[in-house]
Structure 1
Amino acid sequence: MMILDGLDSPQVAREKIEISYQFARAMKPLAGAHRLMAVTHGSFEQRHEMMEHYLDLGYRHIALGSLALKSSRDPYFVYRCVEDALQYRAQVPDLYIHVLGVSSIKWAATLTHLGVDSFDGSSMYMSAFTAGSFLQYVPEDPNLLKKYRIVENVPGSDELPPCHCPACSAMRAEGWDTRAQGGTLRDPSGRPYNGGNEANMGRAVHNINMYLRALQDVQARILAGDESLLVKRDRYEAARERRDNLERPMERLLN
């Protein structure tokens, strides 16, 4: 698989696509009982072409790659790519679609509603280290997850809400507070010390726990017909309507 970054010349992009096809063909006879997953990248047109080619090669598990950044910068593009991939289920009922790197709660709701088989992401884990994020699952919150920052929190205090999830309970029993930043002894920045990186690791597990609880809620709501979380879908439909309205006058002028 060769990743298309959008900056390639047409010639380089073509070469990368052909190399991806070579890999896909070479792997098929080696798979045995394993289920191989091919990955699409690039522009909408390139993804569409790759999707059809992989299906012709016999692939039934397709991942949509390089969408993480676009999920916030160009959600219209992401939604359109997912819709395009899912349309092939009419021809290939057992087609499995996975979306790489897109996992926010609002996207989780939309992808679940659309019928995507699976998706992944690591922001809830990485943000425990890079942003000091401490997530809490709050069912009554419109976003289901409430984000706190632990930078100013003192170990053992209740400036942030206490948590009794398995991760936090286990860490607390060992003397670490997942709501506080690890830091180091006599840190010149003044960060509170709480036993080094253990608190950060525990918080990462805590965040995953909270995310999975919210995800279960998302799935239950979608199955029950609740569409209140489908913000991405609603924005996409509105954007598509605006684009259609702009294109109609142009078509009349051209005709």
Structure 2
Amino acid sequence: MTRTIQQLFDLKGKTAVVTGASRGLGLQMAHALGEAGARIMLSSRKESDLEEAAAELQSAGIDARWVAANCADEADIGRLVDETLQRMGDIDILVNNAGAAWGAPAEDHPVDAWDKVMNLNVRGYFILSQQVAKRSMIARKTGRIINIASIAGLGGNPPEMRTIAYNTSKGAVVNFTRALACEWGRYGITVNAICPGFFPSKMTRGTLESMGEQELASHAPLGRLGDDEDLKGLTLLYASDAGKHITGQWLAVDGGVSVVTGG
């Protein structure tokens, strides 16, 4: 029998791991998955931030736990997967969101900063996806992987935004999503990406201060920045059976900025 829309979006009985989840976009997506019924394992580097985030989710009636881990470190990634499997069982949904940015002119960009961005934004996504798939998803022939890319990965930036490593890493995430979807579709695993535009966050603080919130908002046809709700719908679509026939795709959530710039 065909399921209702409420049944298709229902995540009761599912377990989701969300990285970079102690604040901002990661916490917003954790709320979305938890509000749909999923149990949530939060991860980021700082224990105190994770405690606050878990308490916020728990106060909303969401089953939330946490593991402090650095997703640029392979050993930490393994520990995150170990603890999740031990404490919560199989992983149904993985949201790769932990990320770093660095602002510098390309000609003067420090190589160690380039490596830091690439290690977390690309290598970390690959290692965590690989471990979750091999240890939980492939054998069960089911899984949802959501990669957080960016509209910065769809093209260049205005000259004042000197984020060559970040743009490159997020472009890599978009194609990583496509390639992984092609390989793992046979296991019933969907792999999709979200490309956020400008949302007020710790990562965009410098850009907001230098260009101004109103100036940035003026570049969007909708005339606004993203808010605390704008990623929820797409996250739930990708994570639930409502999106079971969608894989290898990216979608910009940017108020229309990428349409104007041709991304």
Q: What's the TM-score once normalised by structure 2's chain length?
A: 0.35
Q: Which has the larger radius of gyration?
A: 1
* Structure with the higher fraction of residues in strand conformation: 2
Q: What's the TM-score once normalised by structure 1's chain length?
A: 0.36
Structure possessing the higher relative contact order (Cα contacts under 8 Å, 6 or more residues apart):
2
